[in-house]
Chains A and B, each alone.
Chain A
Amino acid sequence: MTETPDQLDALLACARAGDEAAYRRFLTEAAARLRGFAERRIGREAEVEDIVQQCLIALHDKRHTLDPGRPVGPWMYAIARHKLADWLRQRRRRAASVQLEELAVAPESHAARDLGALLGHLPDAQAEAIRLTHLEGLTMRHASARTGASVSALKLRVHRGMARLRRLVDEGQE
């Protein structure tokens, strides 16, 4: 599955030693392989990029589950298969439900209250990021000024929070 089996291993080893550029190259190379992996399974759909991003965040958040010296490949693809299966299950269930990304609801509506309740299940920082940018309609820059967090940190929080919200909604429908 991997043409150059050692490259990711070497890059991650450098990255773990504190080399930020090596980590960037690791993630870029991992993204390319994950893209190929997802395209082979679901075709060249627009959502491929969403899956790639979810996988990258998973690799990053769970990087402590690869013991040093173990090959990256089997670990990375096990996570990718897990995330892809999860995504496919969510897509089946989401068919008839709302696209959370496009929510722009009036503050007094039922939907806003439901969303407010859902946000309660998220870590505070993620909930605040979504509330500011999606409910109050602030731009990323304004939200950043309001919270003191950098724009990129906010985007990451919104991204993670949205993934979690989707899961909550899906579980609610079971």
Chain B
Amino acid sequence: MKTDELIEILSREGAARTSAGWYWPLPLAAGALLCLAALALTLGQPLAALPQIGAAPYAMKLAFAASVALAGILALRASGMPGRRLGGRLLVFAFPFAAVLALAGMETAATDPVWPGRTWAQCVTAIALLTPLGFAAAILALQRLAPTRLRLSGALAGVVAGAIAASAYALWCPETTAVFLLAWYAGPILAVGAMGAMLGPRLLRW
């Protein structure tokens, strides 16, 4: 086919914005809901430890995981828009991690927090089992866009998936320490991000 002919065909289809604009993160919302449903089915009532530990530990874990998820989703979108710079958006990630690191440091200095935490295995299992849902959702969301930096987009998809799984699990998690949050929330999220970076070039080609 001649290029002129192709231009003729494409111009006749027109340049009106296709509707993929606003609903690209819908798969992510669906993934998050699936995570919540799966946890409700297996672990029962959320916030079960509220009377014993109070709201603060829940709020701390949810704030960390949800802010990572949110920063991740914004960076994920920018990474799927060709030619867009990410600089500031990647920096935003540092804040929740730095905050948890600082809290964990103060905790270790003041007390001798329980290690590794009574429910660490359940936490890691839940995040590991739920992450594929969010990861598939993030890959689907990216495919609506046009990722040109596949490792970066893959890493962000992993971080978002891990953070969504962790946000959901935070509602069922009875742990109270920042050390636990650092080890069993932040750690797995970063690990999933690394896996995403490896898978990105294979899954996101277009």
Interface residue ranges, A against B (CB under 8 Å): 12, 15-16, 18, 20-21, 23-24, 26-28, 31, 49, 52-53, 56-58, 60, 62-67, 70, 73-79, 81-82, 86, 152-153, 155-156, 159, 167
Contact = CB atoms under 8 A, between A and B. Distances in A.
Contact of B3 (A56, A63, A74): A56
Contacts of A152: 5, 8-9, 12
Contacts of B6: 53, 56-57, 156, 159
B14 A20 contact: yes
Contacts of A58: 146
Interface residues of B, number: 28
- Consensus secondary structure, chain B interface: loop
Given A75-B83, A78-B82, A60 B5 contact: no
B145 interface: yes
A82 B148 contact: yes
B16 interface: yes
A44 to B, nearest CB: 15
Given A49-B3, A167-B205, A63 B18 contact: yes
Contacts of A52: 3
A155 B9 contact: yes
A62 B84 CA distance: 14
B10 interface: yes
30 contacts: A16-B15, A18-B16, A23-B11, A23-B14, A23-B15, A24-B7, A49-B3, A52-B3, A53-B6, A56-B7, A57-B10, A60-B13, A62-B82, A62-B145, A63-B15, A64-B17, A64-B20, A65-B145, A66-B81, A67-B81, A74-B83, A75-B83, A76-B82, A78-B148, A79-B146, A79-B148, A81-B148, A82-B82, A153-B9, A159-B6
